[in-house]
Structure 1
């Protein structure tokens, strides 16, 4: 029996964020078993915590979707850090996570955890032929006013639409692009508590639509802030089409580091028979 927790991430209201299952002691488990468990939980991600391999890290994590392993993911980073802090009884305000993408710093600010967005492994405009496939798969009728690779590990690409309403109205058909890892972002009206609406689609990882996605928010923030489209601090809403109420806080520091934060809360804890 292994200690286990399920954490709700990116919503102050329980059961309206994005859950991540965390196996807090995964020593002795191989990747095949981890994948089996992740497929069974059927959440967008399940994580497995292990001793770090470097003294700079507090723990090591392996992150699995129902369809495969990811080098990095955002809401599992916050959920895993929350679960590790609670499990160890630590009140520290800084944690370093080791994952396949490298070391990721997590901080607690005003009671909320946030992670430092890792550098992109791919950026730049989306190629024209792939952009056409994305537009077709998402069923976009209006203009695409921007597009970018925002890949920090999972393979993300994103299109920018004029309004949040256009993003919310999308009815994707990924039979046309079954291995996609894509998103769409659009601006809310001035005066809204959220600057942007984001939707994230990951059929390539076995997740048709991710309720609230930290890694794509990280990559999109680096792009939008870097090009002057977004201010240095803003909030994003995500998940309403899935009955969620995701609320993501973005902050960029003078050195260019983008921090992605949101509420984390343990909703289930106990043991897992693995």
Structure 2
């Protein structure tokens, strides 16, 4: 069996930056265990398998795997797959079937190997539970208790399909000096797969509004350069504090800077009578390589 694949860098316009992604093409017929083994072989934060759609009017069906688990939804595989399918099929919109539901992504071509994709969240984010023990969170992150909190933002677990512990911190300097204490990590962050999205506002950075870092030991990765599903969860917390009764707010978030893999994620939210009615994620992606998986007979 031979399978073609592409390598992309997502949430960036530049090769060798952003979040790497493997896209396996025409992956119909692969068993779940085979897809998981291939994702483990690539050993990237996520590998996406493009298959034929279940409904004829849709563009493709996606299966998304980290090195250890399958995900019902993830942002950078959605953006990367939309760019690949948009380029290959000359489409301005792609309809993607994911386990969480149907996602329509708008695509704009930049050149023959790159473009931008934006999509509305298939599930609006909501709070799962608040987080109140700042001391143990601070100890797990290697920072001080007074470093936790940013403006009126408070820690909490939110989900737009994948659960994340959202932890606001005082400023970008605090974000930079995080040192994880894995011995107490599961106790400090007990929900879901212990994934943590630490974020802050960046009023002194002209190119973005927010900065974040994401740590996900339960997903088979350490730190992730750019996490659309975490940014999607963050929309839930942002919407509670944006001074909008009815209207739209747009943000630019940077992630991965501390890893040397800078990502730029666009975030959009819309409220109607102070109720969140729309959330959106977007970013650029560039194809940086291609190859063939040779899995034998």
CA shift digits 1:57-103 (9 cap, x unpaired): 311111100111111000011111222233xx322211111111111
CA shift digits 1:220-255 (9 cap, x unpaired): 123213421798112111101111111111223466
5 Å-filtered alignment, 1:3-22, equals 3-22=4-23
Counterpart for residue 142 of structure 2: 139
Counterpart for residue 33 of structure 2: 32
RMSD: 2.2
Counterpart for residue 101 of structure 1: 100
1:247 and 2:264 correspond: yes
Counterpart for residue 208 of structure 1: 222
Counterpart for residue 285 of structure 2: 264
SS in 1 for 2:36: helix
Counterpart for residue 181 of structure 1: 195
In 1, Cα distance between the equivalents of 2:54 and 2:179?
A: 44
CA shift digits 1:187-208 (9 cap, x unpaired): 1134521111110111000111
The alignment's TM-score, normalised by the length of structure 2, stands at 0.84
Shifted more, 226-235 versus 206-215: the winner is 226-235
5 Å-filtered alignment, 1:45-56, equals 45-56=46-57
Q: Give runs of ≥4 in structure 1 deviating > 3 Å.
A: 131-135, 253-256
Contact 2:147 2:174 in 1 (8 A): no
In 2, Cα distance between the equivalents of 1:56 and 1:182?
A: 37
Contact 1:161 1:184 in 2 (8 A): yes
1:161 and 2:169 correspond: yes
5 Å-filtered alignment, 1:102-117, equals 102-108=101-107, 112-117=116-121
Structure 2 gaps of 5+ residues are 111-115, 187-192
1:125 deviates by: 4.1
Contact 1:202 1:209 in 2 (8 A): yes
Structure 1 gaps of 5+ residues are none
5 Å-filtered alignment, 1:189-204, equals 189-190=203-204, 192-204=206-218
Counterpart for residue 123 of structure 1: 127
1:272 deviates by: 1.8
